[in-house]
Amino acid sequence: MPRSLFRAVGSAFVVASLVAVAYAATPRETQQARHEHYEELGKAFKAIRDQTSASSPDFTALQKNAEVVHEASVDQQQWFPKGTGPEAGKTRALPDIWAKPADFEAAQKMFSERAPKLLAAVKSKDVDAVKAAFKETGGACKNCHDTFRAPEE
Amino acid sequence: MTEPVPSPARVRVWDVPTRLVHWLLVLLVTFSWWSAETGRMEWHRWSGYTLLGLVIFRLYWGLAGSSTARFTRFVRGPRAILGYLKGGWTAVPGHNPLGALSVVALLALLAIQVVLGLFAVDVDGIESGPLSTYVSFEAGRAAAHWHEDIFDVLSALILLHIVAVMYYVFFRKQSLVAAMVHGRRAFPEPQPAPMQSASVVRLLLGIVLAVALTWWVARAFQV
C-alpha cells in the first residue's frame, strides 16, 4: 500500500513538473532544450555504433545508451509544442510538423516502435542483432528528418 | 600530289597507372559529392574507401612509379617556377614546374579530405566514418564540418586545374587532355627522352599495399 501510494505521488509529481516545465519555458527555451535532447540522442547513437564496431563490445555502455535512445523515443512526443517552429527562432524543425500533425505523429511512432527493439537486442547481447536494430532505428530517424527537418546550412 | 606534312612523333608521357588513377579520381570525387548531397551515405563511404586506396597508390607511385609520376622528378622550387613563367623552360615529358604545384595541392587536399571523412560523424550520430570510434562526438562533428569546408576548397582547386588545362589546350595548343587519355604527346624536335616505365612487380606491390592499407583503415585497424 504505502509503496503504490509512493508511486502515485511520485508520478503525480513527475507529471506536474513536466507540465510546469512545458508551460514555464518560453518557445525559444523549448527549442534550445529540444536541440540539446537531440544532441544527447546523437551522442547515444554514436556510442552504440562505437561499441558495435569494437572487438569486445561493452554491454553495460550499450544498455545505458540504448536506454537513452528508448527514453528519447517516448519523450520526443513532448518536444514539439505548438509555437516552437521557425517563428520562435532559428531551428531546423519545419512548419509541416504542425501543419501535418498526423504524418508527424506517424513518423514519431515509427521511432518509438523501433527503439524498444534496439534495447531488446542490446539486452540479448547479440551484436549482430544490435547492428540490425541500430540500422532500423536509424532508418526511423532518417524517415522523419527527410520530411520534417530542414537540410543543414 | 601534296607532300604529307610530317607530324611530330609522339613521345610517351604518362603510364597506364597514372592515367587510370587520374580518371578514377575524377569519377569518384564526382560520385562522392553526389552521394553525399543525396544522402546515400553507404555509397559515400565506399567511394571514400576507394579514394583512400587511390591516394595511397598515387603517393606510392610518386615514390616508386614511372619517371613522370615521381615527386622528385616534378616537384620544383620557386626559382624553377619563376623560370618557367618567364619562358626559360624546355618541354619534357611530365609536369611543368607550375603544373606540379597543382598536382601536389590537389593530392594533399584530397588526402586531407579523405582522412577527415574517416573521422566524421553526422549530427545524429548514425552515419560515421570508420575511425570516428576513436574520437568524441564533438571531434567527429568538427571533422564533418571541416570535411564540408575542405570540399569547397577542393572544388575551387579542381576548377582552377580545369581552367589551366583549357588554357594550355586552346591558347598554347598543347593537347594535355588527350595526353592524359592515351599517354602520348607531340614534342618539337629534338625529341626529349620519353617516360621510363616502372616494372609490373612494383605496380603489383603498390596495388597490394593500397588495398591492404585501405582495408585495415576501413576496419578501424581491427584485423
Q: B128 contacts in A (CB within 8 Å)?
A: 46, 49
CA distance B175 to B10: 11
Contact indicator for A72, A79 with CB cutoff of 8 Å: no
Contacts of B130 in chain A (CB under 8 A): 53
Give the type of residue at B174.
Q
Tell me which DSSP letter residue B96 carries. -
> Could A152 and B140 be called an inter-chain contact, meaning their C-beta atoms sit closer than 8 Å?
no
Q: Which residues contact B126 (CB under 8 A, 6 or more apart)?
A: A42, A45, A49, A138, A141, A142
Question: Measured between alpha carbons, how far is A120 from A134 in angstroms, rounded to an integer?
Answer: 11
Mean pLDDT of all residues belonging to chain A = 89
Residue B194 phi/psi, 5° resolution?
A: -75, 170
Determine the pLDDT at residue A25: 79
Across the interface, whether the CB atoms of A45 and B126 are under 8 A apart is answered yes
Does the beta-carbon distance from A45 to B125 stay under 8 Å? yes
d(CA B202, CA B180): 21
CA B121/CA B143 separation, integer angstroms? 7
Q: Do B130 and A54 touch (CB under 8 A)?
A: no
Looking at residue A1, what is its pLDDT?
Answer: 47
Q: Is the pLDDT higher at A152 or at A72?
A: A72
- The alpha helices in chain B, defined as continuous H runs, are 16-37, 41-64, 71-74, 78-85, 97-119, 137-170, 176-182, 200-218
User: Which residues of A are less than 8 Å from B140 in CB distance?
Assistant: 46
Q: How confident is the model over B38-60, as pLDDT tens digits?
A: 989 999 999 999 999 999 999 99
Q: Is B163 exposed, middle or buried (0-12, 13-18, 19+ CB in 10 A)?
A: exposed
Angle of CA points B66, B72, B77, to nearest 5°: 140
CB contact under 8 A, A45 and B124: yes
Residues of A in contact with B147 (CB under 8 A): none
- B123–A46 C-beta distance less than 8 A: no
Identify which has the larger pLDDT, A36 or B7.
A36
The distance between the two most distant Cα atoms of chain B, rounded to a whole number of Å, is 77
- Angle, helices B16-37 vs B41-64, to 10°: value is 160
Give percent of chain A above pLDDT 70. 84
A43/B133 CB distance under 8 A: no
Comparing CB atoms, the residue among B130, B137, B222 nearest residue A46 is B137
User: What residue of A is the nearest CA neighbor of B133?
Assistant: A50
Report angle CA B12, B13, B18 to the nearest 5 degrees.
Answer: 120
Q: What is the pLDDT of residues B110-154, one digit of tens each?
A: 999 999 999 999 999 999 999 999 999 999 999 999 999 999 999
- Whether the per-residue pLDDT at B6 is higher than 70: the answer is no
Distance between CA B206 and CA A124 in Å, rounded? 44
> CB–CB of B217/B130 below 8 Å?
yes
- Whether the per-residue pLDDT at A18 is higher than 80: the answer is no
Q: What is the DSSP code string of B112-138?
A: HHHHHHHH-B-TTSSSB-GGGGGS-HH
Rounded to the nearest angstrom, the minimum Cα separation between A41 and chain B is: 7
What is the structure's pLDDT at B187?
Answer: 86
Q: Using an 8 Å Cβ cutoff, are B71 and B97 in contact?
A: no
Q: Are B66 and B165 in contact (CB under 8 A)?
A: no
Helix (H, G, I), strand (E, B) or coil at B175: coil
Cβ pair B164, A81 in contact under 8 A: no
Q: The C-alpha cell of A90 is what? A: 532559428
Residue-level pLDDT at B87: 86
B125 to A145: CB separation less than 8 angstroms, yes or no: no
A56 shares contact with chain B (CB less than 8 Å): no
Q: Residue A17's pLDDT is what?
A: 62
A64: contact with B, CB 8 A cutoff: no
8 A C-beta contact, residue A83 and residue A41: no
- Interchain contact A53–B (C-beta under 8 A): yes
Residue type for position B121: V
ipTM of the complex: 0.77
